[in-house]
Structure 1
Amino acid sequence: MNNGVSSSHLVLPHKYAMGEPHSYMVTEVLTEVDAMPDNGGMSQNGHLKWKINEPKEVLNENGKRIYLKLFGKLVISLVCGIVFGFAMEKGRVFDPRVIRGQFIFTKFVMLKMFLAAGVMSLFLMGILSVIPQTKTLLQVTRISLVSTYSTKGLLTTTAGGFILGVGMQLSGSCPAMVLVQVGTAVGNGSACVTLVAGLLGAFVYGLVEPYLTKLLSPKKPLNRLLLDDYLPIPFFVLTSAVGFLMVAAVVGLEFAYPWKEEVQIGNETVGCLFSEFAWPPYVSGVIIGCLQVPLILFIGNTIGGSQSYCTIVSQLLFTERLRAISPYLSPYARGIGNWWQVFYVIGAILGGLFSALASDSIASVPGVGYAFSFVGGFCCIFGARLAAGCTSGHGLSGIGSLSLLSFAAVPSMFAGGISAGFIMKFSVGNIDDYYSI
């Protein structure tokens, strides 16, 4: 075992380890003991005891304190979302032209930001794993994350990632990016079309999920889902090694494709940091990666966005009969483990808006055609739910946690986007049309 308990030795109790939906959260690591029987809300496995909040949590004598604690978690989620949206807008990664350009290798702003955020996620999770006060909580958070993949296999993850990548290329967006696009008024409403289509994608996936699970789930799911379960190397050493490789990639990309030439910021004006039109994408990426720390320490979770779509559409299931239609969506309706991410994505919309207003660039970025926005938005969320994670969930949190399925999901996302990108490029012929249709 490395840094505490490996996923092969620490498995969530069966009633919680249902893969999706991820409607619980680890709220408090209580103690390390040799053995302790399960007693309701308290669960024990190996040497680690933890406490899980269920959606049906009821008030006790400390009810007021519980509500204040939950309110504090939602405020932290909102603030983290605002920082995420602000940094994403300043990095210019939300521009559909940047996303589509990445997939035909003409723009590398998105990849630089993505790699920088991944580096910080790896580095900071590695630090948390060696601090005595945080290493157990970090390990439980990692297990909570990979438990959402318990019904997934390599086929499901890569297929979902590929569909998500196609959707990213078509819409020029992704599950988290579209929120910043809505806040910055991208494309005369095309971002809103992408968002609505994403909600529809989550609803449709909720209806067909039982059939897809039966069809695609592996007959023998993986028992060990983390890289350090297979290698006798400490988690911190592994995250450092992967992080250094990613740093080298960022440096090489910046040397070959300077960011100022890619975003075409034009004449620079002297102003404060917050009013600047653009920041280096790797600076924005570092800021986004740093959000892992408050989310892990105070929320007991990691950066992600696509689950919030399920929480929102689950509100349509307001009767028992409707909930029976989608057993996948119904558990998303309640619980802090679901709603923290909704506050996070609301914050992302506000952060993008605040950043664009500060630089006087609101509604200045063109979008893609409404048809591509709709089809792409649907594919983004449908694919993300099939893969059990999006570019943030798999790309930042999954890679940062050294999740093996995330190492498969991320390349499949790029494969989907690259395939769709070159097909469209050769179909339209004109590069300007490629960026705008």
Structure 2
Amino acid sequence: MAFLGDTARDILRKTAAGMAFGAALTASRVYQPVIILDQMRLADFTMLKTFLTAVSSSSFIMLLVERAADWKRPVRAGSSMKSGWLSTQYDGNIIGGALIGIGMGLAGACPGTVIIQLAQGIASSRWTLLGALLGGLVHARQKQRTMYRRIPGRPRSPASLASNNLTPSETIMSKFNLSESFVLAAFGAVFAGLVGWSLYSRPYALRIFDPLTGGLLIALAQATSILLTSDTLSASGVYEQVARYFWRGVGSTNAAKPSSPPLAIIFAIGMIAGSLQLSWYAPWLLALDGASATDIPAWRAAVGGFALAYGSRCAGGCTSGHGISGVAALSFSSLVSVASMFTAGILTQAIVS
């Protein structure tokens, strides 16, 4: 691609990374509302198995790339609010993560999976996406007043786990006074346990690929994203980017200037393309028995979508950015966000079921 300019190369690489992620999410089947809702009901653990496999595998992929190339693992700083709703430097992660969990429990979607649901023609996805776009618009409008900010003193550039310049509470290791080797060994133990769990679990009626395979495919998409773009997987930035273009387009100066090219939007388009490509060329991977159909009322999908996008912007990431990528990078703020997501999602389903 030497004949292409830098912008064109960035667009092509981001599109390819999005296609890999979209295809992986589609093949893993965790985009299905019934799988997400059943996880929040604690009725089925397909989503959790897939998630943990993707996280543990991504962690070792990041370690290998970091050791073999000039790349630094993006350890995420905490997301703090000036509103002072909670007396902790991770209030944005807690509140934002809880909103994402509420959205998952209501809509049966995540900020990234709603894009795949739309590509696969799931009826509720249109309302979920509408709510998510509105949530992004509202957050972008309020951002100047709410003033979400990074923790003072935290580096904005990614920090390498191999370096000694990480600030306190930046990583899981520093927060709990653990060695990197111990934490990585724990990830390895989780992966080994998932292999055993997968081997002895009963067959899955909804998919050909089991959660272990699905998680490995998502981790492969993670590797593709890192190698092509030097960036990890994250999907929720599309809602903020769309909102910035909207508010600038109508003459508002409250929202930040949108980036050019809009790589988050391009990544989302790539996700749709990858999902559709898999549907066209490997439809046998997506064969369903009809049990995946879940009727989600329009109001639930829309409210859930709003919570998903607004919450992801408060937390500075979503189930992919904080979950698959942030926890894999051993970021403590991501661990807080994910714990808040699942707790709120389970409680939401307990209320609405």
User: TM-score, normalised to structure 2's length?
Assistant: 0.83
Q: Which residue pairs with 1:113 in the alignment? A: 50
- Cα deviation, residue 286, structure 1: 0.9
Q: Which amino acid aligns with 2:108?
A: G
> Quick one: distance in 1 between partners of 2:319 and 2:307?
13
Greater CA deviation, 171-180 or 354-363?
354-363
The counterpart of 1:346, out of the listed 264, 269, 272, is 269
Residues 35-56 of structure 1: per-residue CA shift (max 9 Å, x gap): xxxxxxxxxxxxxxxxxxxxxx
| Alignment partner of 1:369 is 2:294 | no
List runs of 5+ in structure 1 lacking aligned partners: 1-63, 266-276, 426-437
| Alignment partner of 1:245 is 2:185 | no
Q: Which residue pairs with 2:8 in the alignment? A: 71
State the percentage of identical aligned residues. Answer: 26
> Quick one: distance in 1 between partners of 2:175 and 2:347?
32
- Cα deviation, residue 111, structure 1: 0.9
Checking the alignment, whether the CA contact within 8 Å between 2:24 and 2:221 is kept in structure 1 is: no
Residues 278-328 of structure 1: per-residue CA shift (max 9 Å, x gap): 312221211211233332333232100111111122111335941x223xx
> Quick one: distance in 1 between partners of 2:27 and 2:141?
37
Checking the alignment, whether the CA contact within 8 Å between 2:78 and 2:151 is kept in structure 1 is: no
| Alignment partner of 1:204 is 2:141 | no
> Quick one: distance in 2 between partners of 1:320 and 1:91?
39
- Cα deviation, residue 165, structure 1: 0.5
Q: Which residue pairs with 2:161 in the alignment? A: none
Greater CA deviation, 395-404 or 312-321?
312-321
> Quick one: distance in 2 between partners of 1:292 and 1:378?
27
Change (3 A) 1:366 1:101: same
Checking the alignment, whether the CA contact within 8 Å between 1:150 and 1:221 is kept in structure 2 is: no
Q: Which amino acid aligns with 1:334?
A: S
> Quick one: distance in 2 between partners of 1:355 and 1:278?
14
Matches within 5 A, 1:161-180: 161-180=97-116
Q: Which amino acid aligns with 2:335?
A: F
> Quick one: distance in 2 between partners of 1:148 and 1:412?
14
Q: How many residues align?
A: 329
Matches within 5 A, 1:49-68: 68=5
Change (3 A) 1:252 1:102: farther
Q: Which has the higher contact order (CA 8 A, sep 6+)?
A: 2
Checking the alignment, whether the CA contact within 8 Å between 1:198 and 1:381 is kept in structure 2 is: yes
Q: Which residue pairs with 1:56 in the alignment? A: none
- Cα deviation, residue 407, structure 1: 1.1
- Cα deviation, residue 249, structure 1: 4.5
SS in structure 1 at match of 2:134: helix
Q: Which amino acid aligns with 2:338?
A: V
Q: Which residue pairs with 2:260 in the alignment? A: 335
SS in structure 2 at match of 1:174: coil
Change (3 A) 1:218 1:126: closer
Q: Tell me how large the CA RMSD over aligned residues is.
A: 2.9
> Quick one: distance in 2 between partners of 1:378 and 1:348?
20
Greater CA deviation, 99-108 or 362-371?
362-371
> Quick one: distance in 2 between partners of 1:398 and 1:95?
23
Change (3 A) 1:218 1:70: closer
Checking the alignment, whether the CA contact within 8 Å between 1:353 and 1:362 is kept in structure 2 is: no
SS in structure 1 at match of 2:22: helix
Q: Which residue pairs with 1:254 in the alignment? A: 198
Q: Which amino acid aligns with 2:102?
A: V
Q: Which amino acid aligns with 1:227?
A: I
Q: Which residue pairs with 1:305 in the alignment? A: 235
| Alignment partner of 1:317 is 2:262 | no
SS in structure 1 at match of 2:29: coil
Checking the alignment, whether the CA contact within 8 Å between 1:79 and 1:347 is kept in structure 2 is: yes
Change (3 A) 1:257 1:166: farther
> Quick one: distance in 1 between partners of 2:350 and 2:176?
38
Query: Larger Rg: 1 or 2?
Result: 1
Change (3 A) 1:147 1:409: closer
> Quick one: distance in 2 between partners of 1:281 and 1:80?
21
> Quick one: distance in 1 between partners of 2:177 and 2:78?
25
Checking the alignment, whether the CA contact within 8 Å between 1:170 and 1:375 is kept in structure 2 is: yes
SS in structure 2 at match of 1:278: coil
SS in structure 2 at match of 1:138: coil
Q: Which amino acid aligns with 1:159?
A: I
| Alignment partner of 1:359 is 2:277 | no
- Cα deviation, residue 110, structure 1: 0.9
Q: Which residue pairs with 2:341 in the alignment? A: 413
- Cα deviation, residue 206, structure 1: 1.2
- Cα deviation, residue 210, structure 1: 3.3
Change (3 A) 1:86 1:292: closer
- Cα deviation, residue 80, structure 1: 2.1
